[in-house]
């Protein structure tokens, strides 16, 4: 009798399961961090939750804390086997695993964040975060008194270097005397290292602290020392009530909604040229609301510059620009193309610090 009950129960449950999965459009997310990291992965997961609200007939799933490499390939394969229609892989290190799995599942759409390899069923997406960093740089340049701005940087890769350069250009556009001192932590997320870096920057006279790392540790130090600060990835003004200025942030909702909508209607047959790399005009990146510490005239400059960037009238990497070592980067009115931006491995004039690989 007992056995019979169990069999009936199993049959019932598997029927429920089948019904639910068969007629739903399924979207999977593969995350490198935890969904509650308060930064990078959290921003992607907000996008996922929004997808569930916008498309009631879409079912989403995710796996968090996925190591980059072979393990990622296994997890992506599992999703593909289970019949997920779209799989988002949200870290640079998932690039090759995504491409490898995509070859075996031609019917599934794969979207990889921040990479450059595409295929017939693999597209890429990212955001022009450097634009928001530029705006944050303008705030820093306007508000520094010592003209020394500190920047706590994670890994020396083109993305981070591009951010530092854009931040520096923003600061020096409004304050040519300003310079940006960079300290590397060689980690995306390490509270102790970020704190140490913050203390060290304050010791040498930095009066604005900007972080490119994922934790809010630098803001805590800034608050303790009464130094103004700029966050990254999340609006962490709660930890630095008296010193927080703003924070460049990600907002993936528009990108995810667009991709899922198009994939549902099978609008795209070939993803080889599908590359989302938008900026302020689409909201994929934004600046957290400027705090009350920022004077009205600075707020106006930021608003105006935002408009100019959206209209395409102001390009951030426009000549004349010099590299850190004094050599020419861009001549008068020359605009750096996307290729240059994506492979940027040098600092511009005004940055103090070295790129470890050089």
Question: Is residue 239 part of the contact set for other proteins (CB under 8 A)?
Answer: yes
Q: Whole-number minimum distance, CB 183 to other proteins, in Å?
A: 5
Cα–Cα distances (Å) from 89 to 17, 29, 31, 111, 189, in that order, read 25, 6, 7, 6, 20
Residue from 62, 47, 28, 35 nearest 253 by CA = 47
Residue found by looking up tokens 């609006």 in the block: 235
Q: Structure tokens of 43?
A: 């921003």
Q: Given candidates 24, 278, 291, 352, which one binds other proteins under the rule CB under 8 A? A: 352
Question: Is residue 211 part of the contact set for other proteins (CB under 8 A)?
Answer: no
Question: Is residue 34 part of the contact set for other proteins (CB under 8 A)?
Answer: yes
Q: Whole-number minimum distance, CB 84 to other proteins, in Å?
A: 25
State the DSSP H helix or E strand holding residue 74, giving kind and residue range, or none if neither. Answer: helix 70-81
Q: Whole-number minimum distance, CB 252 to other proteins, in Å?
A: 18
Q: In what order do the strands lie in the sheet with 275-278?
A: 58-63, 25-30, 86-89, 109-113, 122-127, 275-278
* Nearer of residues 102 and 240 to other proteins, judged by Cβ: 240
CA atoms of 333 and 43, how far apart (whole Å): 36
Residue found by looking up tokens 């000549």 in the block: 319
Q: Whole-number minimum distance, CB 304 to other proteins, in Å?
A: 31
Question: Is residue 186 part of the contact set for other proteins (CB under 8 A)?
Answer: yes
> Would you tell me how many other CB atoms lie within 10 Å of the CB of residue 35?
17
DSSP labels, 154-198: ---SHHHHHHHHHHHHHHHHH-TT-EEEEEE-SSSS-HHHHHHHH
Phi-psi region of 228 (alpha: psi -120 to 50; beta: other; left: phi over 0): beta
CA atoms of 44 and 49, how far apart (whole Å): 9
Question: Is residue 234 part of the contact set for other proteins (CB under 8 A)?
Answer: yes
Q: Given candidates 27, 38, 91, 213, which one binds other proteins under the rule CB under 8 A? A: 38
Question: Is residue 212 part of the contact set for other proteins (CB under 8 A)?
Answer: no
Q: Given candidates 46, 190, 275, 334, which one binds other proteins under the rule CB under 8 A? A: 190
Q: Given candidates 118, 162, 193, 286, which one binds other proteins under the rule CB under 8 A? A: 193
Question: Is residue 197 part of the contact set for other proteins (CB under 8 A)?
Answer: yes
Question: Is residue 354 part of the contact set for other proteins (CB under 8 A)?
Answer: yes
Q: Given candidates 44, 172, 195, 286, which one binds other proteins under the rule CB under 8 A? A: 195
Q: Whole-number minimum distance, CB 248 to other proteins, in Å?
A: 16
Q: Given candidates 62, 84, 105, 184, which one binds other proteins under the rule CB under 8 A? A: 184
The span of 45-53, 55-63, 136-144, 232-240 binding other proteins (CB under 8 A) equals 232-240
Q: Given candidates 14, 146, 192, 303, which one binds other proteins under the rule CB under 8 A? A: 192
The span of 52-60, 138-146, 185-193, 280-288 binding other proteins (CB under 8 A) equals 185-193
């Amino acid at each position: 009798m007992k056995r019979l009950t169990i069999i009936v129960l199993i049959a019932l449950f598997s029927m429920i399961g089948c019904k639910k999965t068969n007629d739903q459009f399924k979207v999977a997310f593969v995350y490198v961090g935890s969904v509650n990291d308060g930064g990078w992965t959290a921003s992607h997961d907000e996008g996922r939750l929004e997808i569930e609200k916008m498309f009631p007939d879409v079912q989403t799933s995710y796996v968090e804390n996925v190591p980059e490499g072979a393990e990622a390939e296994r997890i992506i394969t599992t999703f593909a086997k289970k019949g997920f229609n779209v799989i988002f892989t949200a870290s640079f290190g998932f690039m090759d695993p995504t491409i490898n799995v995509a070859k075996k599942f031609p019917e599934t759409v794969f979207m990889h964040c921040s990479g450059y390899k595409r295929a017939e069923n693999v597209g890429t997406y990212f955001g022009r975060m450097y634009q928001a960093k530029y705006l944050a740089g303008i705030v820093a340049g306007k508000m520094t008194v010592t003209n020394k701005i500190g920047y706590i940087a994670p890994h020396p890769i083109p993305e981070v270097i591009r951010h530092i350069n854009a931040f520096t250009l923003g600061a020096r556009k409004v304050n040519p005397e300003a310079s940006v001192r960079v300290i590397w932590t060689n980690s995306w997320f390490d509270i102790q290292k970020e704190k140490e870096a913050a203390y060290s920057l304050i010791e040498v006279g930095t009066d604005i602290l900007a972080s490119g790392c994922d934790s809010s540790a630098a803001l805590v130090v800034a608050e303790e020392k009464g130094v103004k600060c700029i966050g990254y990835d999340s609006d962490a003004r709660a930890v630095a009530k008296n010193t927080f200025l703003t924070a460049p942030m990600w907002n993936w909702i528009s990108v995810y909604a667009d991709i899922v909508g198009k994939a549902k209607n099978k609008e795209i047959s070939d993803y080889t040229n599908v590359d989302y790399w938008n900026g302020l005009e689409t909201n994929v990146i934004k600046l957290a609301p400027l705090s009350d510490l920022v004077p009205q005239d600075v707020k106006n400059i930021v608003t105006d510059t935002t408009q100019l960037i959206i209209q395409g009238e102001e390009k951030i990497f426009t000549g004349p620009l010099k590299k850190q070592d004094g050599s020419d980067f861009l001549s008068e009115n020359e605009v750096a193309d996307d290729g240059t931006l994506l492979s940027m491995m040098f600092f511009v004039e005004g940055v103090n610090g070295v790129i470890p690989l050089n």
